[in-house]
Amino acid sequence: MFLITLPNIPPAIFTQFGHAIFGGSILLSVPLFFSSSEQSIIFLFLSFGALSRLADMGFLNLVIIYSSQSCESRSKDSLPALKFYTFKHHVRKLSSIFPLIFLFGCLVMFFKQDFPNYLIEWSLYVLAISSTFSINYFLSFHEGAFDLRLAHIFRGSYFALSGILFFLFSYLNFSILSLGLSLFVSSFLIFSLLFYRGILKIERTFGLTVPSFHDEFIQLSRKTFFSWLGGYVGTHGLITASYLLINPFFSGLLGLTFNIFIFIQNLSNIFLVSVIPKVSYLASTNTCHSLRYTKIALTKSLITYIILVAVFFAFYFNLPSEFTQRLLGVDNILFIAIAFLGSIATYSFSIFVRAFKIEPFAVMSLTTAFIAVVSMTAIASFSLDYALAGFALASCVSFVWTYLIFLKYRQSYA
């Protein structure tokens, strides 16, 4: 008698599936329901929205690492204090970063004289992405300390519902308002479910002692801020840079093409995202196993990425012209494909190094972001067809630099 067993599905597949629905909804809706000028604004909003990384900047990754290590090391009594401590940091970020994001978006649109036309849409979108940050905070803590699968199910449901609503609102001709409205309605529903499950519960643990990691946590937070800032500028920031330094039309093409590859990257990173709690825990107990898990996940992610890119190109050469004219040309797309391939490998090595509660990537991240923006702008002044060669160059530099850092710390800890 033969028994059929289901494969061990990575929990992160639920999150990435939700991202896929949300990203796919945008990629489908924009060519169908939005004009070229509206396409530029939609992806400009998404580029600004990625500035929410200023609130995150590795903070949520640290929440997962600390909560998972506290749980696995049998110091569960400290979890309420840890949650209260990290929640206060989350509130500070929420109240300081998102008003700055709002003002930054207003300034950029004012500079391009789009400010009066989209103030309501922009305000609602900033409110929505701030809600997204809070949802991700609570789910990140729950992921590390309690239930990895449930956290990913809730996170995936949030993005999937947002994608469905975005398509619906776009179809109903809500225009640019569709983006913020879909995220806001979804966040309200997910917050209600999180409240029902007790995931939003915060205990004011004045009587408990937080483990002595305050200085370590603050120091890591500052270093990760600059690392993730460089990551933002070197990817999503290119859309804003192209909007200001090249032209809004090119920015719209870049935004749609970029988001296709972000969609592909999110699907490919399922295996890497899923092993973060495991790698973080094993880093303090069995470094060799931690490295092995990282390498296995990297291999699976790279294979998945290559297959998905091949599928994309198969569709690209058979798409109607009304769709392909909304995307960049083949030469630029090839550069983007190379760059995202390098970023997946870079991400895997950084997961292993960060599991040791160190953050040596700040200088590398900011340097490669500078290379990406300057080289893209310089190349675009000669030929728009090869503008993203600068992005590919920055990704290659980032990969080599990160790999050298990885080798250094592997020798130190393995």
188-215, pLDDT tens digit by residue? 999 999 888 888 887 765 544 455 556 6
Assigned domain for 354 exists: yes
Assigned domain for 171 exists: yes
Q: Find which of 57-61, 66-70, 153-157, 287-291 is predicted with most confidence, using mean pLDDT.
A: 153-157
Same domain, residue pair 229 and 108: no
Per-residue pLDDT reduced to its tens digit, 32-50: 888 877 887 888 888 777 7
Number of domains in the chain: 2
Residues 6 or more apart in contact with residue 302 via CB below 8 angstroms: 268, 341, 344, 345
Query: What's the pTM value of the predicted model, to 2 decimals?
Result: 0.66
Assigned domain for 3 exists: no
Assigned domain for 2 exists: no
Same domain, residue pair 245 and 363: yes
- Lowest model confidence (mean pLDDT) among 79-88, 191-200, 206-215, 310-319: 206-215
Last residue within a domain, chosen from 153, 179, 211: 211
pLDDT at 145 over 60: yes
Same domain, residue pair 99 and 184: yes
Same domain, residue pair 140 and 284: no
Looking at per-residue pLDDT, the higher value among 61 and 166 belongs to 166
Assigned domain for 316 exists: yes
Same domain, residue pair 155 and 262: no
Same domain, residue pair 194 and 260: no
Same domain, residue pair 278 and 349: yes
Assigned domain for 218 exists: no
pLDDT at 3 over 50: no
pLDDT at 340 over 50: yes
Same domain, residue pair 101 and 138: yes
Q: What pLDDT score does 367 carry? A: 87
Per-residue pLDDT reduced to its tens digit, 276-290: 767 766 766 667 777
Domain interval for residue 229: 223-414
Assigned domain for 271 exists: yes
Assigned domain for 98 exists: yes
Same domain, residue pair 292 and 268: yes
Same domain, residue pair 264 and 346: yes
SS3 annotation, the chain = CCCCCCCCCCCHHHHHHHHHHHHHHHHHHHHHHCCHHHHHHHHHHHHHHHHHHHHHCCHHHHHHHHHHHHHHCCCHHHHHHHHHHHHHHHHHHHHHHHHHHHHHHHHHHHHCCCCCCCHHHHHHHHHHHHHHHHHHHHHHHHHHHCCHHHHHHHHHHHHHHHHHHHHHHHHCCCCCHHHHHHHHHHHHHHHHHHHHHCCCCCCCCCCCCCCCCHHHHHHHHHHHHHHHHHHHHCCCHHHHHHHHHCCHHHHHHHHHHHHHHHHHHHHHCHHHHHCHHHHHHHHCCCHHHHHHHHHHHHHHHHHHHHHHHHHHHHHHCCCCHHHHCCCCCHHHHHHHHHHHHHHHHHHHHHHHHHCCCCCCCHHHHHHHHHHHHHHHHHHHCCCHHHCCHHHHHHHHHHHHHHHHHHHHHHHHHC
Same domain, residue pair 207 and 229: no
Same domain, residue pair 326 and 275: yes
- 302-317 core/surface letters (b: 16 or more CB in 10 A; e: else): bebbeeebeebeeeee
